Structure 1
């Protein structure tokens, strides 16, 4: 079976640098190749393509090589591949999502040479990619990144009676790889039997993961946002082509990385 890579979008911003470093650590943790992708494009269709394309391609390759060198300084055994694509960031990253284990992007930043803010690009990707998307913020100036070595993984479980298997599998895998607890947050009255049944399959597959349950009366959004202030990772799901208000809130306000996992 061919192993798919962890893919990171690179555009030269502080946010994309943070995303690339996060993706490198995740690739090492999973034993996968890291693919760095830069989607370049001209800022206007009226610009002379022949005169500019070569310069933009060279700049893209230089940016990718510099990012690769920085990552290999920290992870010398990491297998890294580079792809510069002349499709712009949206089209390029959507395309590579079809053969990626997950896609990692920065939360915002100027999409180099395209005129797009990466925030708008990442927002589009979250609702349309074929694989999970992890959105990463850069660390605040002069401050530490959220989530220490023992910070837990948090997952939002929308309905314990109808568990989203791909979301739970991603969350359990993330917690197991980091050797940290998994906190399951769900709305409604506490129902140990329903939650126990919902996660039984993944508990059996990952017996080393300590599971903590948090039931919330009303919306789970405030609890997820609170947990996201110092979590290693927050995991939520989305339906086909649809991003709900909980996901929107996390993407705009969470300090921790947010993984958005598509499910049927």
Structure 2
């Protein structure tokens, strides 16, 4: 049985942008789209409680509005919906377990570049076992494509690059595979980037030599990156894969790269324990400052 693309819906403009992105992705992957609205029910709520009846009615209205929007924006997408009882984070996490990928909207912050996601989206991105895509408010179909000859957004041009931030100290097959499949269904180029931090005297082990020049270090890591990617180039011969090693902070370089990308993909260790609903410093920087949607892919 095929896993659907799942989108969380709460009735906000941000979630409508996310559901539209999810619908386009479902069409590209030839998958159904499942919309989920979660009401934050109290522990003692009953199905006959007047407040519960109102919440169900409002929730159905939220789903109906999203479906009507998608019928106009993305005709042809196969739609199902679900009204889920319980706290939003727990309900959406449960839904994400059955998803090919989960798509959630961002919470815009007027006057600032980038976006700030709410606690629900943060908790899901930090804990989900399936890929989670976080979509900015205002994201439209044209934003996934290259500019036309007049320098204007257009769905008639090819797709923008997919950018993968890959940690070569922990190169996950799940993360690389997701990024390549995403690029394949778009016919887009995949840019794989590893950020190389400068060594310090404190980071050198016994007997290590810290006099290797930056170009030599970058070339050594570039060779390692090419070796990691070779098997994937063989699996995806139709995808143009560009590999880059840069000497910079990963968060800084990936945020910069996001301005010319259709999607940024990063990994997160599935069993890594963190304090609070955070998915790591690089992901934290991206979800606050990236100029395109961000995919967080968990891995062992």
**What TM-score do the two structures reach when normalised by structure 1?**
0.89
Q: Is the 8 A contact 1:139 1:146 kept in 2?
A: no
Aligned equivalent of 2:230, options 165, 182, 200: 200
Q: Which residue of the partner structure matches residue 150 of structure 1?
A: 159
The 1-side partners of 2:67 and 2:117 are apart by 20
Aligned equivalent of 1:180, options 181, 188, 192: 188
Which string of whole-angstrom CA distances, capped at 9 and with x for unpartnered residues, describes residues 213-262 of structure 1? 22111422211001112310000000125422101100111120000000
Q: Is the 8 A contact 1:238 1:261 kept in 2?
A: yes
Q: Is the 8 A contact 1:127 1:241 kept in 2?
A: no
Aligned equivalent of 1:228, options 249, 254, 258: 258
1:96 aligns with 2:95: yes
Q: Which residue of the partner structure matches residue 15 of structure 2?
A: 16
Which string of whole-angstrom CA distances, capped at 9 and with x for unpartnered residues, describes residues 165-217 of structure 1? 00000000111111111111102313343112211222111111111122111
* Structure 1 stretch displaced more, 118-127 or 2-11: 118-127
The 2-side partners of 1:185 and 1:118 are apart by 25
Segments of 5+ residues of structure 2 without an aligned counterpart are: 109-115, 147-157, 197-217, 273-278
Segments of 5+ residues of structure 1 without an aligned counterpart are: 110-116
CA drift of 1:63 comes to 1.0
Q: Is the 8 A contact 2:144 2:159 kept in 1?
A: no
List, as ranges, runs of 4+ consecutive aligned residues in structure 1 with deviation greater than 6 Å. Answer: 44-49
Which string of whole-angstrom CA distances, capped at 9 and with x for unpartnered residues, describes residues 126-167 of structure 1? 1111200000001289xx7465343100001111x6421000
The 2-side partners of 1:80 and 1:173 are apart by 22
Change (3 A) 1:196 1:118: closer
1:171 aligns with 2:179: yes
CA drift of 1:21 comes to 0.3
* Structure 1 stretch displaced more, 121-130 or 148-157: 148-157
Q: Provide the secondary structure at the position in 1 that maps to 2:118.
A: helix
Aligned equivalent of 1:250, options 286, 292, 296: 286
The 1-side partners of 2:290 and 2:12 are apart by 19
Change (3 A) 1:146 1:204: closer
Return the index of the structure with the highest Cα Rg. Answer: 2
CA drift of 1:76 comes to 2.5
The 2-side partners of 1:162 and 1:225 are apart by 21
After TM superposition, list the pairs within 5 Å mapping 1:109-128 onto structure 2: 119-128=118-127
Which string of whole-angstrom CA distances, capped at 9 and with x for unpartnered residues, describes residues 4-24 of structure 1? 000000001111111100000
Q: Which residue of the partner structure matches residue 28 of structure 2?
A: 29
Q: Which residue of the partner structure matches residue 259 of structure 1?
A: 295
Let me know the Cα RMSD of the aligned residues: 2.4
**What TM-score do the two structures reach when normalised by structure 2?**
0.78
The count of corresponding residues between Structure 1 and Structure 2 is 253
Q: Which residue of the partner structure matches residue 114 of structure 1?
A: none
The 2-side partners of 1:194 and 1:118 are apart by 35
The 2-side partners of 1:118 and 1:52 are apart by 28
Q: Provide the secondary structure at the position in 2 that maps to 1:76.
A: coil
CA drift of 1:45 comes to 6.6
